[in-house]
Every structure is written in C-alpha cells, then in structure tokens.
Amino acid sequence: MGIVLNYTMFLCTIVNSALTTTIVGVLKGVGSTTLGFVLLGGVQVRALNVTGLVINTAGGVWYSLAKYQQKRNKLPKLMTDVETHRK
C-alpha cells in the first residue's frame, strides 16, 4: 500500500502543481492515520488522540490555504490580445 501511495503522489506531482500535491499529501496523511487506527488497532481512541489529529489536519489545511493565497497573489496579470496590441 505504501508503494501505491508513493507512486500516486509521484504521478500527482508530474500532472499537477506542487500546491495540489501538498493538499493531496495532507489528505493522504489523514487517510493513512485513520486507516491505521481502524485496521491496526492497539490504540485506544481517546479525546487527546482525536484532538491531536484534528489539530494536525487543521494545520495542514491552513498551510495549504496560505500557500494557495500566496501563489494566487503572485500570478502575473495576463493581458488580452487587444491590450497587447495597444501597447
């Protein structure tokens, strides 16, 4: 399963931007942790564990949003053909 996850991350990086790969990485981490709790067992689900997962996920989402806004603000304005012709 780890090989498949790493391969899909590799494909995501080739096809998409690094920002998309970051967001997918956050989702992959949440999925992996949740599956680990359910499938592997041995860990008692307590409020502290769930709180840690929520904080971790919120931090990943917050980081991804901050990077998205930063990238969006840096994009140059594309000029139309009419604007280019006038200059």
- How confident is the model at residue 52, as a pLDDT? 86
Given a cut of 70, is residue 77 above it in pLDDT? no
| pTM for this prediction | 0.53
Long-range contacts of 57-64 (CB under 8 A, 24+ apart): 57/26, 57/29, 57/30, 60/25, 60/26, 60/29, 60/30, 61/26, 63/22, 63/26, 64/19, 64/22, 64/23, 64/26
Given a cut of 60, is residue 83 above it in pLDDT? no
